[in-house]
Amino acid sequence: MAKIEPSIKSALTQYATAHRGIFSYSQLAQYQNRFHLSGSELEAALLEVAAEFATPPISQFYVGAIAWDDKSQQAFLGANLEFSHQALSLVVHAEQAAINNAWLNGATEISKMTINAAPCGFCRQFMNELSTAKELEILLPTGKTSLSDLLPTSFGPDDLGNSEKLFSQARHLAANETSPASISAALYRHYLRAYCPYTHNQSAVEIKLDTGECFYGRYAENAAYNPSLSPLQSALSQLAMSGKVLSEVNVVGVTLLEKQGCANQLQVSLAVLKAYNAEHLLTHIEIE
């Protein structure tokens, strides 16, 4: 496929950086008209832009993905994220990053995924947790397929008696409900909306910069356990989608909030932060 013109890529990258990789369908239509792009050309351009946000110090393999939500009329970019001198099991895959971006930022479902290469088995299993898994379309450079075709006789939430699915749960703060003292309202909201039907460990992370800007992540579990996305991985992926890296910004603190009696995220969070020599910045809080 032909490379996208630099002016197109530059315009899309600037917008993606300013909006953390989130495009409304109307905004994409404007870019499509402005640059006279076909639908497939626009998708190819977005994949190139998404891959620009990748941080792969180990593999040097840049991957981009797009999660589309037809209900909210938004597209969410994602890119792979690796941590130097840490196990590859801690990486965030591009498909995870795009779904995470959508989940944290107002999407109601994932209608389809666009990926610049066939998804690995890990990502197929992660996508199988979605509320739309059975109907999910996968758009690849080689053509259109479905998650059902890529993952036949799958193992998923239903096999563990879990009727809840990623994106189908909706826990919100009641009007008279406030966050506990010393915990920001935004962090508490993410904590309440964590997807944890297997361990019941509601958990979320807040990364606060010296500029006052904050990045949040929350726990997304998987029936196969290993593809689960930790709160810190989720938050760091959001940081990456804003064009930032933890080692290049001034962090005031990182707060990990977990459910008392179910906590299981401290050690993996410390391992990830070690890659940035930032483990001393972590505050761990458990609440009932």
> Catalytic residue numbers?
95
DSSP state of 132: T
Alpha helices in the chain (DSSP H): 6-18, 25-35, 39-51, 94-104, 121-127, 147-150, 185-192, 231-240, 266-274
- Total length of the chain: 288
Structure tokens at 74: 């938004």
Pairing of strands 143-146, 74-79: unpaired
Structure tokens at 101: 């971006």
Structure tokens at 241: 């989608």
- For 184-264, strand residue ranges (E) read 203-209, 214-218, 251-259
CA distance 85 to 209: 24
Whether 24 and 30 have beta carbons less than 8 Å apart is answered as no
* SS3 at position 135: helix
Whether 196 and 250 have beta carbons less than 8 Å apart is answered as no
